[in-house]
Amino acid sequence: MKLFSTSGIRRKVSELPPNFVVKVGLAISKAICQNTGSNVIVARDPRSSGPMLEHAICSGLISGGSSIERKGIMPTPALAYHTHKTNACAGVMLTASHNPAEYNGIKVFDKTSMGLSPNDEAKIEEAIAKNDLPIQPWEKFGTDVEVLGSELYNKMLLDAVADIDFSVFKSVIADPGGGAACETIYNTYQELGINLISINGMFDPTFSARPSEPEAKNLTQLLETVKKQVVKSGNKTIGLAYDGDADRCVAVDEKGRYVPLDVLIALYAQFVVEQNAGKGLIITHVDASMLIDKLVADAGGKVKRTKVGDVAIGNMVAEEIAIFGGEPCGAWIHPKYHLCPDGPLTGLKILEWVVERGPLYQLVDSVEDFPVNRVKLNCENELKQVVLKALDEELSAKDDFKDILKMDGLRLNFEDDSWVLIRPSGTEPYFRVTSQAMTQKESEERLDNYSKLVEKEIKKAQK
């Protein structure tokens, strides 16, 4: 029984009935905390379905023998950080992150501040599949306490940029989208003396003001507000936006332009390496731009890639002692502080970077990303591994590539660092094929060639 995706258990709320959520709580108590009365921290984002899930998951945890500390609404990274700093057995975040309000989910963190490993997730899935969910005798039930606020996390944010002079900005316009970061952003920026203009800065259970995902098309109000403010401030205003649970952050430069996500992470990764005396390892995933490799190499660092998903990146950051890791979507990990993608911390670190190297628009204009093209090809879920195996055998027999990365689909790396990624979706019935090359023509031609190859193998598997 597969319940966990790359970001925990995430479904439409109609597919998260309370009796199932209770079972997840019982399974966490048994598989992760061994029914020992260990402490579990529980928090949620502002979704209207959050209280229902909170009551259900807490019922399972308590009756399974775990003591719970309910933190109310807080960002996912705050929950992960508190779990780590208080040495709790686990942290449970009730969120569907950037997904629409009709979704919700359960993401579990261990005491290192990372999402659970695949092995630990499998233990939870096994306990539920076997209905091995013992309810403890009443005298061994866990305790329940509500401790609102995120003081430990807020202090970390303040300490992380304590020596930075933010007066270079006439204003910073932040759009938490009515999500979990609303109070954190307001309180932190007030403490730092930043002139904050807040958009969608109150908890919004239905994300009625804008969709939760901070894509350019969803940030019209932020883009327009930055442009208007820039007229007054003379290119001394930038914008930041977050998703529903604040594990992502994106930026709008001083010209009111949404900064391309691959460009933003590539430039920041270069800065991190430069700040580390021109050395250090950066971790990203197989679907990220080769611009990251170029800029990091220019600074003297190295890049390693892993599977898509913040847990895979966090694990490799920890194992390889990397100095930074992240996904282009805005989920960045700053290992000096903890190992969960952290939107509020990323926002402050972007401001720090701009203070030291900006303005942001000049940094963005100094580079140009390489052409990338993508396509999705329908493929039944049960055929994905058959198709992937056939493609692996065929492509591995060729000598057209510098190497092939196989940890998450097949990434075909060419001598000039251009690449093609063939990857089955983890949640939907199709393959994604992505091509990035030095020129648009080359990228399109490779996309066409390898898409046809994937389609051929899908048709074979369907016979």
Looking at residue 38, its amino acid is S
Q: Phi and psi for 433 in degrees, rounded to 5? A: -120, 125
- In the residue annotation, 29 being an active-site residue is answered as no
CB 104 within 8 A of CB 96: yes
Would you call 143 exposed, middle or buried from its count of C-beta atoms within 10 A (0-12, 13-18, 19+)?
A: exposed
Q: Which residue do the tokens 């591994």 mark?
A: 385
Burial annotation 75-114 (CB, 10 A radius, 16+ → b, else e): bbbbbbbbbbeeebbbbbbbbbbbbebebbbbbbbbbbbb
Tell me the two tokens of residue 95.
């969120």
In 10 A of CB 208, how many CB atoms? Answer: 10
CA–CA dist 186, 200 (Å, integer): 11
Starting at the earlier edge strand, list the strands of the sheet with 332-333.
302-306, 281-285, 324-326, 332-333
Catalytic annotation, pick one of 97, 212, 435, 443: 97
- C-alpha angle 15-19-20 in degrees, rounded to nearest 5: 50
By annotation, the residues acting in catalysis are 97
